[in-house]
Amino acid sequence: MRASLPYSYKRIPAMRPARALIDLKALRHNYRLAREVSGARALAVVKADAYGHGAVRCAQALEAEADGFAVACIEEALELREAGIRAPILLLEGFFEASELELIERHDLWYVVHSAWQLEAIERARPGKPLTLWLKMDSGMHRVGFFPQDYAAALARLQALPHVAKVVLMSHFARADELDCRRTEEQVAAFEAVRSGLGQTFEVSLRNSPGILGWPSVPSDWVRPGIMLYGATPFEQDHPLADQLRPVMTLESQVISVRELPAGEPVGYGARFVAERPVRVGVVAMGYADGYPRHAPDGAPIFIDGRPSRIMGRVSMDMLTVDLTDLPGAGLGSRVELWGSQVPASRLASLCGSIPYQLFCNLKRVPRVYSDE
Ligand SMILES: *Cc1c(COP(=O)(O)O)cnc(C)c1O
């Protein structure tokens, strides 16, 4: 397998065996699942470089069928436009400076309006093209958005503007990943109370991945799948729909050194692991500088040549150590899966006090190798 280093100044093949394999077919499968289970149009959320999967390649793989994309900021949107993506792109936090409005217009972007200062800037602007805006309600997340009692007035101000062609009503869930928590229903009720009093119908968008998979009765014209596109479950417990997701990324590397140690010998920084019996230690070319979590505990799962093993000792910057004692066939050059279909990223993340979102976003240095068959 050949891969180019992510460094532009070194156009040589990557010799170090660490790789992130990205399965674009699995990405499309997960996107279709989001649309199918919601019965809604779906904006594929590709912010943060598609959660570490590569925004341009992922958007290109989805463009033929995607209803649109969502990103965090204009820089991310322009990267997609420059790569030739023509589908609608929504800026999830709208603009940060009124000076962005000109670029937003030139590149036909949709954007979220979440604050009074944005509303005022839109009232002052005189765009030459009709705008599609998504007006955000703070139905209980308490981060951004108009409070329910202020929402109808904000909407009326947008509708009074000649250059506003369409407004989609949106909100965002704080606890949709907690399937037995009532907070999501309370947020929906707060949203619906306002919407039902508007005297006019609008398209609505409330659901992120846990909303799509876990809250089927929430009204949706548009859904906003992120983590589920990449095949990781947003839930801590098993869920029948989440089981249908296919992992998109396989983080893999190889064993680059092997040693046998007698009982009582420590492994790695700080001697966190001390052998209780003679052990065979494999050293893997992968570390926290690649994005593998430094907080992985002893015993965290890892697969070597398709067989389960465990981390032993602290994760270092460029290497980590695994237990080969019960895998006599494994050795130098053995293939190691850090996460993927054998080690679900959500399971590893949970053992490390993290979430799969963060594992993916932290990916660095490792070349990505795409497959689409
Ligand atoms: C990031 C984001 C999403 C996607 O969330 P997932 O949990 O990854 O599906 C959806 N909506 C908004 C507003 C977001 O910021």
pLDDT tens-digit profile of 270-281? Answer: 999 999 999 999
pLDDT at 4: 60
Residue 269 bears catalytic tag: yes
Q: Which of 2-6, 122-126, 174-178, 367-371 is predicted with the least confidence, judged by mean pLDDT?
A: 2-6
pLDDT at 208: 98
Contacts with 130 (C-beta within 8 Å, 6 or more apart), sequence order:
163, 164, 165, 166
pLDDT band at 6 (very low <50, low <70, confident <90, very high): low
Catalytic residue among 7, 25, 129, 269: 269
Compute the distance between CA of residue 76 and CA of residue 72 in angstroms, rounded to an integer.
Answer: 7
Residue nearest to atom 14 of ligand 1 (CA): 92
Compute the distance between CA of residue 370 and CA of residue 25 in angstroms, rounded to an integer.
Answer: 10
Q: Which domains does the chain have, with CATH numbers?
A: 39-231 (3.20.20.10), 249-371 (2.40.37.10)
pLDDT band at 219 (very low <50, low <70, confident <90, very high): very high
Compute the distance between CA of residue 287 and CA of residue 318 in angstroms, rounded to an integer.
Answer: 4
pTM recorded for the entire structure:
0.96
pLDDT band at 3 (very low <50, low <70, confident <90, very high): low
- What is the chain's mean pLDDT, rounded? 96
Compute the distance between CA of residue 102 and CA of residue 132 in angstroms, rounded to an integer.
Answer: 14
How remote is the CA of residue 126 from the centroid of ligand 1, in Å?
Answer: 30
Mean pLDDT, residues 184-204: 97
Q: Measured from the CA of 208, which atom of ligand 1 is nearest?
A: 9
Facing residues of 304 across strands? 307, 336
Counting residues of the chain whose pLDDT is more than 90, the rounded percentage is 95
* pLDDT exceeds cutoff 80 at 5: no
Mean pLDDT, residues 60-69: 98
Compute the distance between CA of residue 192 and CA of residue 212 in angstroms, rounded to an integer.
Answer: 18
Residue 166 bears catalytic tag: no
Q: How far are the Cα atoms of 62, 63, 99, 187, 281 from residue 372, in angstroms, in the given order?
A: 11, 14, 39, 39, 35
Q: How far apart are the first and last CA of the chain?
A: 15
Compute the distance between CA of residue 54 and CA of residue 44 in angstroms, rounded to an integer.
Answer: 13
Which stretch of DSSP H or E encloses residue 136? strand 131-137
Compute the distance between CA of residue 363 and CA of residue 251 in angstroms, rounded to an integer.
Answer: 9
Q: Is the dihedral of CA 175, 169, 80, 25 positive or negative?
A: positive
pLDDT at 12: 74
pLDDT at 127: 87
pLDDT at 9: 52
* pLDDT exceeds cutoff 90 at 1: no
* pLDDT exceeds cutoff 70 at 40: yes
How remote is the CA of residue 212 from the centroid of ligand 1, in Å?
Answer: 11
Query: Does the annotation place 143 within a ligand binding site?
Result: yes
* pLDDT exceeds cutoff 80 at 11: no
Contact yes or no for 47/31 (Cβ under 8 A): no
Mean pLDDT, residues 328-339: 98
Alpha helices, H only, the chain: 24-38, 47-51, 55-62, 74-82, 101-106, 116-124, 148-159, 183-195, 209-214, 345-351, 356-361
Query: Does the annotation place 195 within a ligand binding site?
Result: no
pLDDT at 14: 84
